[in-house]
Amino acid sequence: NAARERGAAVGEKVAVAAEKVKETAAEAALTSKIKAKMVLDDDVKARSIDVTTNGTTVTVSGTVRSVAEHDRAIRLARETAGVTRVVDQLSIAQ
């Protein structure tokens, strides 16, 4: 019985680790989708914007050139499938 219990405990740890890997992969996919949208957008200078994802919450940070660029970057993040919340940490260059 002890071996069976250890086996069950190991199986549970593997399942938890697999779930974390799946979550990390999903977060990376969301980040990549948003960055790709920004790179392809003529109004957004993607190199100056950082995107990080935690679950389905995306944080957009960095410095943009204008209010219009700020608004477009935030809109691109919000309109991405799978994103439930966008944390706006963008600043506008003076």
Q: Where are the domains of the chain?
A: 2-92
**DSSP state letters, the chain:** -HHHHHHHHHHHHHHHHHHHHHHHHHHHHHHHHHHHHHHH-TT--GGGEEEEEETTEEEEEEEESSHHHHHHHHHHHHTSTT--EEEEEEEE--
Domain 2-92 top-level CATH class: alpha beta
Q: What is the pLDDT of residue 16?
A: 66
Kindly report the pTM of this predicted structure. 0.79
pLDDT tens sequence across 55-81:
999 999 999 999 999 999 999 999 999
